[in-house]
Chains A and B, each alone.
Chain A
Amino acid sequence: MKMPLLRVLDLRKYFPIKAGLFGKIVGYIKAVDGVTFEVKDGEVLSLVGESGSGKTTIAKNILLLEEPTSGQIIFGESDITKISGRKLKEYRRMVQAVFQNPFLSLDPRMRVNEILSEPLMAHMKLTRKEIEERVTRLLEIIGLDSSFMYKFPHELSGGQAQRIAIARAIALEPKLVILDEPTSALDVSVQAQILNLLSELKEKLGLSYLMITHDLSIVKYISDRTMVIYLGKIMEEGPTEKIFEEPHHPYTQILLSSVPDIYSRKSEKKTIPRGEPPSPVNPPQGCRFHTRCPSAMPLCKEKTPLETQVDEGHLVSCWLYVRK
């Protein structure tokens, strides 16, 4: 058995909605509402969800860019939600991230070599020459030559800029990299390049990924396990192959059939989802998906479904699969 690298336990993040002159709290957006999962060492876990599902909030909590309302995030041995000082710095070194749009995640005023040397200088005492050597080697690893060193982000193509963002993320030899929609801003041909690079780096450097995406089609190429999330709650979780071959949750099924596929015709489609996703301010009672679910039962409106194991490591939160 592989050891869990990161464990997220009953994570909740509520954003207060303020109103009036004195900022009275009138309600909460329940962006993440009790999410538990783990990322094992050397594993790629994908978190799939649409906008408003809370997937980005989960990433921000793990990256300590936001503080969770409740719950624990355990990395290695310790809960990192309350750490500071040297421990925080050590955690920063182990957990890195790549964001969606490289042109927003790279400071427009910095050259590539400054961008890449920044994390090195923050964590290690290196001479100038050592830093330069490391930067050159990083560029080599991500497939760019050293002529890119002195370029500004705006002089790069989307794919090249995303490679630089990846280079920065691996500069400190982290254990876990959070990939937040790493290819959504890129063209398809470039998307494939970046996905392949990411798989390659994972093998070469022994990384683990937590990939956050709305695009089910890319999940398959890179992840070992997949988790489907809807309005702040996990709907289904399991080995990626199982999720694709035998999706159990109606939401997963709908999500899968909504992805445009080059070999299928619209007219042949079986399930087109109805309705709009409800607002996370007042999420539906019971199962969060019941308002759009084709197989909703009266029970779904009343009680939150229990998590049921349908196969080894394959869990579904749906009343259809709860053994009576």
Chain B
Amino acid sequence: MMSEPLLRIENLSIEYVVQEGTIKAVRNASFDINEGEIVCLVGESGSGKSTIGLAIAGALPENAIIRGGKIIFQDHDLINQRARTCSKKEIMMIFQDPAASINPLFTIGEIMSDVIKTHLKVHNPNAIKDLALRMLRRVGLPDPERMLRSYPHELSGGMLQRAVIATALSVNPKLLIADEPTTMLDVTLQAQILELLLNLKNDFGLSILLITHNLGIAAEMGGRIIVMYCGEIVEEASSNELIRNPLHPYTKGLLECIPRTSIRYSKLKHIPGIMPDLRNPPSGCVFYGRCSEAIQKCRMIKPSMVQVYENHTVACHLYSRGMR
């Protein structure tokens, strides 16, 4: 029997009101994150992956509306404001551009002590400094004493992202949401940050929701992968299973068009067509317009998630009962 998950998302739907209309960014998304687990939310731009992350962290922009569903974190529905306040320090989020997510006018030390004061209600300056130094060391930053006195612009992108991770960790969260944390970094630094995240998971039992467009990163992290397309979850499986046995035609297509360094290829495959308009998503399968295996049913009826193998679910009519 599995224990209760740390976070459970149920039928979450989120819309954005913009000048041109209502963007149905996330529709009926459901998934769990267990304690000490790493889950990768993978999708291209416009898939709704970041919106889900922001919703969990309670950081949705003003024009976003949660249309329905639940975000249950440790038995509280976070859509309820009061529950949100209680669990604020349990969930931390880091972003793609570390420089844009922190105030450039304060030193790393000031930013960290501010976060520690607000969330942990610790006010002893020495205790705060100790904690900050410990966190900076934990994320592998050299010379943490100096780091505390540095301003964000004095640090390189990779160091700054580490400092942001240290800040997030200082309040001892249960869940870390990392939204494209390495996209702005060079590959060598990217590898360092990903390794750090893995170590944090392994050593401290931190749950991580890693949001990325890069299936390669998701595969290397080795946790569970959730594939999103155009606002909907289309497939979910362990990383090994998903990479070796993709079921959804979108996942298959995506895997085929990823450039690889390790094997020989002459030509890349690609998925023809473009993503449907999110203001008016198709009533049937979202991938219908670009799918090479589509059948008549796909146009009209939206496939629901079905479990095909253990720990492998997919939303595709090819695998619905009666078809197989």
- Residues on A close to B: CB < 8 A? 50-51, 157-160, 187-193, 195-196, 199, 214-218, 220-221, 244, 254-267, 269, 272-274, 276-277, 292
Contact = CB atoms under 8 A, between A and B. Distances in A.
B88 interface: no
Given A264-B219, A272-B195, 16 more contacts: A159-B274, A160-B274, A189-B253, A191-B259, A192-B270, A216-B261, A217-B216, A218-B259, A220-B261, A259-B261, A262-B216, A264-B262, A266-B194, A266-B220, A267-B198, A277-B186
Contact of A220 (B188, B190, B259, B275): B259
Contacts of B66: none
B152 interface: no
Given A255-B188, A276-B156, A261 B262 contact: yes
Contact of B187 (A192, A259, A264): A259
Contacts of A262: 215-216, 219, 243, 255, 258, 260
Interface of B: 44-45, 156, 158-159, 186-192, 194-195, 198, 213-217, 219-222, 243, 253-255, 257-262, 265-272, 274-275
Contact of A266 (B158, B195, B259): B195
A258 B267 contact: no
A267 B222 contact: yes
9 contacts: A50-B187, A50-B188, A189-B253, A221-B267, A260-B214, A260-B220, A262-B216, A263-B243, A266-B222
B187 A255 contact: yes
A223 B222 CA distance: 31
Nearest to A257: B191
A193 B191 CA distance: 27
Contacts of A215: 187, 259
Nearest to A272: B191
A138 to B, nearest CB: 20
A258 B257 CA distance: 19
A115 B207 CA distance: 49
A296 B258 CA distance: 34
Contacts of A50: 186-188
Contacts, number: 133
B44 A189 contact: yes
B188 A157 contact: no
Given A214-B186, A262-B255, A276-B159, A199 B267 contact: yes
Contacts of B158: 276
B46 to A, nearest CB: 8
A266 B215 CA distance: 13
Given A157-B274, A188-B44, A256 B261 contact: yes
B257 A191 contact: yes
Contacts of A217: 216, 258-261
B152 to A, nearest CB: 15
A187 B254 CA distance: 10
A255 B186 CA distance: 10
Give the residue among B213, B266, B267, B269 with the most A Cβ atoms within 10 A. Answer: B267
A220 B254 contact: no
A263 B44 contact: no
Shortest Cβ-Cβ A-B pairs, 10 listed: A260-B216, A192-B270, A192-B257, A50-B186, A187-B44, A217-B259, A258-B191, A192-B268, A189-B271, A273-B188
Contact of A221 (B159, B221, B265): B265
Give the residue among B187, B189, B255 with the most A Cβ atoms within 10 A. Answer: B187
Given A196-B267, A221-B267, A276-B158, A265 B220 contact: yes
A209 to B, nearest CB: 16
